[in-house]
Chain A
Amino acid sequence: MRAVVKQRSANYNSLKLEDVLETRLFPDLSDNQGGESNSAPRQLQAGVTLAKRYAIQEVVGLGGMGSVYRARDMHFPNVTKLVAVKEMINSAPDPLVRETIVQNFEREANLLATLHHPSIPRIYDYFSLDSRSYLVLEFIHGKDMEAIISETSGFLPEEQVLTWAIELCDVLDYLHRHKPDAIIFRDMKPSNVMINSSGDVILVDFGIAKSFQSGIKGTMIGTEGYSPPEQYRGEATPAADIYAMGATIHHALTRRDPRLEPPFSFAERPLRRINPSVSPELEIIVSRAVEYDPASRFKSAAEMKDALMSVARKTGLLVRMGPGPQTGSAKTGGIKPLWSFKTEDEVRGTPTVFQGSLYIGSYDNNLYALDAADGKFQWKYPTDGGIVSRPALLDGNIYIGSEDKRLHVVSARSGKVVWTYYTNGPIRSSPRIAEGHIFIGSDDNHLHAVNLTTGRMAWRFETADPVRSTPFVMNELVYLGCESGDYYAIDFRGALKWRFHAKRAITSSTTGTPQALYFSSVDGTLYALDPHNGWAIWRFRLGKASISSPCIVDEFVFVGASDGFIYAVEAKSSKEIWRFRTEHQVNGSPVIYKDSIYCGSVDGNLYCLEYRTGRLRWKFGTEGAITGTPLVYDDVVYVGSTDHQVYAFLA
């Protein structure tokens, strides 16, 4: 039979798939051995085009019910788009079984179509031809973990396995959080984990993944050795995936295939007995994941990921891994500043980075220039008053206001003064540079517009009270609030365009989009105003007064308040998305960097939260209140504290 098939296969180019399949009906019927033994001749040969679209190139894997092929998608004639075609040959004689198999196949297809995660392959297509069904998936350039384990002589480095484990926890967490029902992967093992060319893990074979409905028993499917005891009893829960995950890491670090060991014997073969180079911390995590009793394992993949992350931090791996998607959720401890620098008084201002230098003012009257990489002192420029604002930078000059009533312009390189500009009151507002001018507020109840080249006043606009907020410039208008609660939109001639009134002071600086201006007030409200006319689009009640300046990302507005909370509000609907409680007032402003939000609190901590959920990633306690705004630049967070210090952390 095989010979016949092979002979015909030589002419595959001219044959339709149907012809090929016909010849194979005979071995199916006559061979009682079942699928595995004669799977080789059943494979599609190179050159066959499926569904007039996918040109088979070669077999890249064998599954239980068919092969996996690499194919080229001929709908893209001008580029070589490769896809993985997963085949399922349905040779079951019983119609009910056949139907179940097709259903399972379609379930995998439908499931994949709803999932979006960097570690889950994308699905492009699926179809059935006679007794064969095909899934067309993203082709992954890489190898599966089992192949990597067996091809490596000696043990894989711990940090490599740790990186994979963190990514696997991330994707499991994604599956387990799937709505409406959690998805249980049920077959985590090295051969189902691909490592792509950039070293990231991709979970493959969702054939038996299953939506998990509490209390409903399923049938045992999985792989002996990797599957936990309860899975044999028909239970598939997130805890089962965590066990299999532990078994997979165990296999990767020890090179001992659990399928060849007595079932559930991990407790007798701890990691370090086989591979002493593994850290004790990691051994504890793996042991906990493969506990016999599901209740003793990690409660969730997220919890296991947290534990792995803290190992990563401890061993210094995280520093080397960089801030990729791995940067995750270690909750406490382990966070150390890259450097810190001590000034002679409280640091309440916000830093700016320019060409490798960090510029920040202190209450000791000085503006400091530090090396952003190591915090080394470069120069300081003395003013005659405390500095609480944020420096602005343009053309090699630094612009900073001081409580000595002056706006100082200093050369960034030398720290020498270029010129100064007097107002009649202390300056707590930060300068905003736009259209050849510096806009800055002062306690002298004015907004000043200063010409950049001459250092002279272009005009000033009288406000009802001191201006401590930073002006915001958009659409040829300058927006700012003042201590009376008045809010102004001023055009570039210094004329009032419109005015709005909050019930109490507006110390918070504005952030805006063409759609809305956002700021908070001491009246305990976060406002969204129409930038064109000052009508209120919405008002959001905060627990207490706020002087924190909001920041926006995606569709969210973030702000702190003196009730100690950091709030996330949907910009469109003003619905609260989450709130996070700190231990004291939040007077500083949050900033967003990548998928994290950074914000200080008077409780002394710098908090790093996941911005979509408000979950704590880490916090670092300084010795004093943090009232300034952190700056994140090039993966480093800089923040000042009233403990006189400036800190730098890895973002």
Chain B
Amino acid sequence: MNKIFNWLFGPKSTPTKTLDTANTAPLTDQQLQAIVSNQNPRFDMQQLISAGGQSVGKQRELNEDSLLAITSTMAGNSGNLPFGLYIIADGMGGHQFGEVASNAAIRTVAGYVLRKFHSYLFQIKTDTMDESFQEIMLAAVSEAQRAIQREAPGSGTTLTAALVLGQQITVAHVGDSRAYFVYPDGRIETITRDHSLVKRLEELGHISPEEAENYPHRNVLYRALGQGEILEPDIFTVAFPQSAYLMICSDGLWGVVSEQDLVRSITEASNLQRACQNLVTAANTAGGPDNISVVLVQLIG
């Protein structure tokens, strides 16, 4: 790009500067490598890879979790864009039809989002969309809320959905399933905020993180899809961090496996599928008290 630019615009303004930096000796290997590595990313296409894992766990008979992972590429005039939609919903125990709720949530949200992007994915169209990512996700969640109230009144579910387009991740989140960034250097960052009573008490400083670990009503949610008249999901957009993993999971995983072990299961695995299996196994080894669902996504290139 720089070459073309220079060719088009001619030499830069100050000739004295050019003299100062002029270097007639051959480039060293390091310099060459620096130039190559600087230029590579521009031409490399970015693409998404993903994998999922699920288990009913060791103590439940029924799976009330639902999972969806769609990974694709959107062909377009300004290059091919990575496109992905990843959703985990955890139907609420103690409610009727927990699995119906989580299922309805996934189908409705995915259906709504894919209908919006249908023409961009599957038809020839060049106009940019009228709605923004966040508006689409909000509308999708609202539709799911209505669907659950219609299909399985009285039930509820968590929902953590990530729409990836290019390098932007737009997250819609209700309840206590979680989205994380896991970095190759071992750092792990929760990007969602649990809508649970225990988390709220912790945020308010009424209980310490240690007390929260052993809090008796850990699974009480103050916000869930299908519950309440007005639903206010958390919706935000963040950049996909370079070489990090996006992990979405239900509390059947994060509630029983320590963050350290989560990171280890991922970074020590040879590929994403294996990492998901490791995570599910880790949760089951820890007793598997609840349904386990996990999705791992990486943006490479």
Residue numbers of A with Cβ under 8 A of B are 114, 179-180, 395, 435-437, 451-454, 458-459, 476, 491-493, 497-501, 514-516, 527-528, 530, 532-539, 572-574
Contact = CB atoms under 8 A, between A and B. Distances in A.
Contacts of A538: 132-135, 237
A432 to B, nearest CB: 15
A451 B9 CA distance: 7
A180 B9 CA distance: 60
A107 to B, nearest CB: 12
Contact of A498 (B4, B14, B77, B204): B77
- Could you say which of B78, B234, B235 has the most chain A C-beta atoms within 10 Å of its C-beta? B78
Given A535-B129, A538-B135, 10 more contacts: A114-B205, A180-B205, A180-B206, A436-B9, A436-B12, A493-B8, A533-B76, A536-B129, A536-B133, A537-B134
Which 5 residue pairs are nearest across A and B when measured between Cβ atoms?
A: A536-B132, A538-B134, A573-B236, A572-B236, A538-B132
B44 interface: no
A435 B134 CA distance: 35
Contacts of A535: 128-129, 132-133, 165-166, 168
A530 B236 contact: no
Contacts of B14: 395
A539 B132 contact: yes
Contacts of B167: 530, 532
A534 B205 contact: no
B239 interface: yes
Nearest to A527: B132
Contacts of B135: 538-539
Contacts of B79: 533
16 contacts: A179-B204, A180-B204, A435-B9, A452-B13, A453-B13, A476-B1, A492-B1, A492-B5, A514-B239, A515-B168, A528-B132, A528-B237, A532-B78, A534-B78, A538-B237, A539-B131
Contacts of B165: 530, 533, 535
Contacts of A453: 12-13
Contacts of B131: 536, 539
Interface string B137-169: 000000000000000000000000000011110
Contacts of B278: none
Nearest to B133: A537
A395 B13 CA distance: 10
B62 interface: no
A459 B134 CA distance: 37
B127 interface: yes
Contacts of A492: 1, 4-5, 8-9
B81 interface: yes
B199 to A, nearest CB: 15
A177 B206 CA distance: 17
B155 to A, nearest CB: 28
A500 B5 CA distance: 25
A577 to B, nearest CB: 14
Contacts of A534: 78, 128
B216 interface: no
Nearest to A491: B1
B66 interface: no
Given A492-B5, A493-B5, A573-B235, A530 B166 contact: yes
Nearest to A179: B204
Interface string B115-134: 00000000000011101111
Interface of B: 1, 4-5, 8-10, 12-14, 76-79, 81, 127-129, 131-135, 165-168, 170, 204-206, 234-239
Contact of B128 (A435, A436, A501): A501
- Could you say which of B5, B12, B128, B204 has the most chain A C-beta atoms within 10 Å of its C-beta? B128
A567 B81 CA distance: 33
A537 B13 contact: no
Contacts of B134: 537-539, 573-574
A178 to B, nearest CB: 10
A437 B78 contact: no
A493 B206 CA distance: 59
A458 B132 contact: no
Nearest to A492: B5
A437 B9 contact: yes
A242 B165 CA distance: 54
A492 B13 CA distance: 16
A528 B135 CA distance: 12
Nearest to A211: B205
Contacts of A532: 78, 166-167
B191 to A, nearest CB: 10
Given A493-B8, A498-B77, A537 B237 contact: yes
Nearest to A514: B239
B235 A530 contact: no
A497 B79 CA distance: 10
A539 B235 CA distance: 13
A551 B20 CA distance: 37
Contacts of A476: 1, 5
A451 B78 contact: no
A527 to B, nearest CB: 8
A568 B128 CA distance: 26
- Could you say which of A501, A533, A534 has the most chain B C-beta atoms within 10 Å of its C-beta? A533
Contacts of A530: 165-168
Contacts of B128: 498-501, 534-536
Given A451-B10, A493-B5, A533 B78 contact: yes
Contacts of A533: 76, 78-79, 81, 165-166
Contacts of A497: 78
Contact of B9 (A458, A514, A536): A458
